Amino acid sequence: MTRFIKVYSEDGVGVIQFDRPKVLNALNREMVDEIVTQLEAFDLNESIRVIVLKGSEKAFAAGADIEEMMEETSLSLELLNPFAQWDRISLIKKPLLAAVNGFALGGGFELALHCDLIIASEDAKFGFPEVKLGILPGAGGTQFLTKVMGVRRALEWIWLGEQMTAREALHYGVINRSVAPELVEEETMRLAHQLSKQAPISLRLIKEAVHAAADLSLLEGKMLERKNFYLAFSSEDQKEGMRAFTEKRTPSFRGK
Ligand code: HXC
């Protein structure tokens, strides 16, 4: 049983819905643990091809749980190392989509930034208010945002701790799409279902190669892409995809 998330699946799409609405889905450790455990379960579940994270109407997540965090010390954090949990999110191999309504702040923004695609409501608010608490982002926020927007822009946002509108987030390439609030879920599921029809092995090999581009040198990235290209030719889906093309029919991919 989970206490802070709801989980369901729909036609190959696994959904994790945050469920702490009274505190705008503030992320306590138990909740992060539930999210990560469920992500890994979906990642291993053959019937799931795409994963969606979503919050509630008012908030995707308003950050780490400040009440829980305020008693921490440097040593308690060092010993507990809570961010090791977050590293596991980066190891999820299936497409991971965030559907963002309302606030995605601090750790909530970082959670969205761990996703491959972000679909947000036009009135969504993103930001890193940590500076106002006398701390800084700790689950990769300074790194993700800088890789997306560049040093100067990231510094300005993280230093000022101001909220970024969906329009600004879209402009800077922080999110993929911005839609009317009532359409966020529909648009995200439409995209998720579209992806769930693509060849699953291609999707995971593409995910690994594209993310590598942000971290590796061009040559290393090309080598990884090449290895994945060769690997794709071991799949039945490659045979099916090419055969379907020559037979002028829609391919049916099985993820094998
Ligand atoms: C604990 C939180 C919370 C949080 C909101 N709440 N955010 N509780 N941790 N991060 C609680 C409020 O205390 C309040 O509880 C209830 O949720 C509703 O929030 P309000 O403030 O009344 O709502 P509103 O006026 O609409 O303002 C929304 C808001 C504001 C702008 C999002 O709540 C806010 O500024 N929240 C904190 C955002 C933040 O600083 N996030 C970064 C955290 S640090 P009660 O009981 O009063 O109703 C962080 C570090 C990341 O994330 C490290 C890596 C994980």
Q: Which CATH architecture has domain 5-196?
A: Alpha-Beta Complex (3.90)
Q: Which among 104, 106, 110, 120 is annotated as catalytic?
A: 110
Q: Which CATH architecture has domain 200-246?
A: Orthogonal Bundle (1.10)
Q: What confidence category does residue 207 fall into, taking pLDDT thresholds of 50, 70 and 90?
A: very high
Amino acid at 43: D
- Pair 195, 203: CB distance under 8 Å: yes
Which pLDDT tens digit goes with each residue over 163-186? 999 999 999 999 999 999 999 999
Nearest CA to ligand 1 atom 32: 62
**Residue intervals in the chain for CATH 3.90.226.10:** 5-196
- Which residues 6+ apart lie within 8 Å of 4 measured at CB? 18, 19, 20, 28, 30, 31, 34
Asked whether this complex has an ipTM greater than 0.90, the answer is yes
Q: Which among 14, 55, 63, 107 is annotated as catalytic?
A: 107
Which pLDDT tens digit goes with each residue over 63-111? 999 999 999 999 999 999 999 999 999 999 999 999 999 999 999 999 9
